[in-house]
Amino acid sequence: MNDYVIETKNLTKQYGTQKSVADLNIHVKKGRIYGLLGRNGAGKTTTMKMLLNLTQPTSGEVFIFGKNIRKNEKRILPRVGSLIEAPGFYPNLTGTENLRIFAELRGIPKLDAIKNSLKLVGLPYRDKKLFSEYSLGMKQRLSIALAVMHDPELLILDEPINGLDPIGIAEVRTFIRDLCDVRGKTILISSHILSEISLLADDIGIIDHGVLLEEESLQELENKNSKYIHFDLSDTSQAARILESVFKSKNFRVVDDHNILLYDTNLPQSAINRSFMQNGLEVSESHLCEDTLEDYFKKVTGGAGIA
């Protein structure tokens, strides 16, 4: 037993000769937002379908709430809300009417559940507007309302921000964040857009060609990939002492005897160089490095564009 809400063990899905998901081990912690990040075709949807037992893995296992999904589907799935593919809403009914039909099918007590879930996603209750007249953003909100209507503990949302305009994106982000912070839900969300994930997720898994390349907290990822000044000089322990005593900084990392990375990029680089040299250090190089998270994502996925 452990505290993971979702854990996969060597989860693999093979279509023909191609592995769409390969030995995937992800760990989603309770009460956090986990962002599964990867380009189109990376294996995000396939992974989520296996988590929900909609697709059978070729090998490997899925544990949700500590239990194997294959043997406990009936007990687990009522505690999970998901948005994988667009639900089949009726175009000639209103949003409220659509949710009423789904609530009936699923045996969910109607009135409050519908009202609350619409409120949560910012759609009006008993509005006259038909689903066919909804904007893409409204359709997406209604899909999420449907996913949360039965008040699940875990939400699995496949690219929920796809196709929204910038205001819609900000709003959806806010209510997803609230679902986690205010209501204590655990949320797994996928995206192919790094900026979306980095604004929302607590933990990030980077998937490429079905392989999980990284799994870390956003904080750890950002620390690894922030701006820094790289000094190549003759004695890093002395340089460290100067940074601490003269520039009052502890925010640096000694890489080896010659290389030191200073993360306080607001400190004056030329004054630091001067001080190093006045103290007898030889500085062969100093430059500002701006490895952003985006650069990093491109680097680990081995390509350029991510949008």
Ligand X SMILES: Nc1ncnc2c1ncn2[C@@H]1O[C@H](COP(=O)(O)OP(=O)(O)O)[C@@H](O)[C@H]1O
Q: Under the rule (CB under 6 A), what is the footprint of ligand X?
A: 15, 20, 38, 40-46
Q: 39 and 303 in contact (C-beta within 8 Å)?
A: yes
Which residue stretch of 38-46, 120-128, 160-168, 195-203 sits at the interface with Mg ion (rule: CB under 5 A)? 38-46
CA 203/CA 183 separation, integer angstroms:
18
CB of 294 to ligand X, least distance (A): 18
CB of 177 to Mg ion, least distance (A): 22
Task: Please say whether the dihedral angle defined by the alpha carbons of residues 66, 71, 75 and 78, taken in this order, is positive or negative.
Answer: positive
Helical H segments across the chain, by residue range = 44-51, 69-76, 95-106, 110-121, 136-148, 166-181, 194-200, 218-224, 236-245, 269-278, 293-301
CB of 150 to ligand X, least distance (A): 25
Which residue stretch of 40-48, 177-185, 212-220, 231-239 sits at the interface with Mg ion (rule: CB under 5 A)? 40-48
Which residue stretch of 36-44, 69-77, 216-224, 267-275 sits at the interface with Mg ion (rule: CB under 5 A)? 36-44
Query: Residue 137 binds which one of ligand X, Mg ion, none, with CB within 5 to 8 A depending on kind?
Result: none
Comparing CB distances to ligand X, the nearer of 55 and 273 is: 55
CA distances from 165 to 135, 136, 143 (A): 10, 9, 16
Q: Select the residue interacting with Mg ion from 8, 45, 191, 198 (CB under 5 A).
A: 45
Query: Residue 94 binds which one of ligand X, Mg ion, none, with CB within 5 to 8 A depending on kind?
Result: none
Comparing CB distances to Mg ion, the nearer of 18 and 284 is: 18
Comparing CB distances to Mg ion, the nearer of 204 and 262 is: 204
Comparing CB distances to Mg ion, the nearer of 45 and 301 is: 45
CB of 85 to Mg ion, least distance (A): 9
Which of 193, 132, 297, 219 has the alpha carbon at shortest distance from 172?
A: 193
Instruction: Count CB atoms within 10 A of the CB of residue 245.
Output: 10
Query: Residue 15 binds which one of Mg ion, ligand X, none, with CB within 5 to 8 A depending on kind?
Result: ligand X
Which residue stretch of 42-50, 99-107, 137-145, 264-272 sits at the interface with Mg ion (rule: CB under 5 A)? 42-50
CB of 230 to Mg ion, least distance (A): 38
Taking the CA atoms of the chain, what radius of gyration do you get in angstroms?
A: 24
Query: Residue 38 binds which one of ligand X, Mg ion, none, with CB within 5 to 8 A depending on kind?
Result: ligand X
Query: Residue 20 binds which one of Mg ion, ligand X, none, with CB within 5 to 8 A depending on kind?
Result: ligand X
Query: Residue 90 binds which one of ligand X, Mg ion, none, with CB within 5 to 8 A depending on kind?
Result: none
N residues, the chain = 307
Which of 295, 293, 300, 299 has the alpha carbon at shortest distance from 198?
A: 293
Query: Residue 41 binds which one of ligand X, Mg ion, none, with CB within 5 to 8 A depending on kind?
Result: ligand X
CA distances from 70 to 27, 50, 54, 160, 246 (A): 18, 10, 10, 26, 61
Q: Which residue has the tokens 């392989």?
A: 211
Instruction: Count CB atoms within 10 A of the CB of residue 248.
Output: 9
CB of 75 to Mg ion, least distance (A): 27
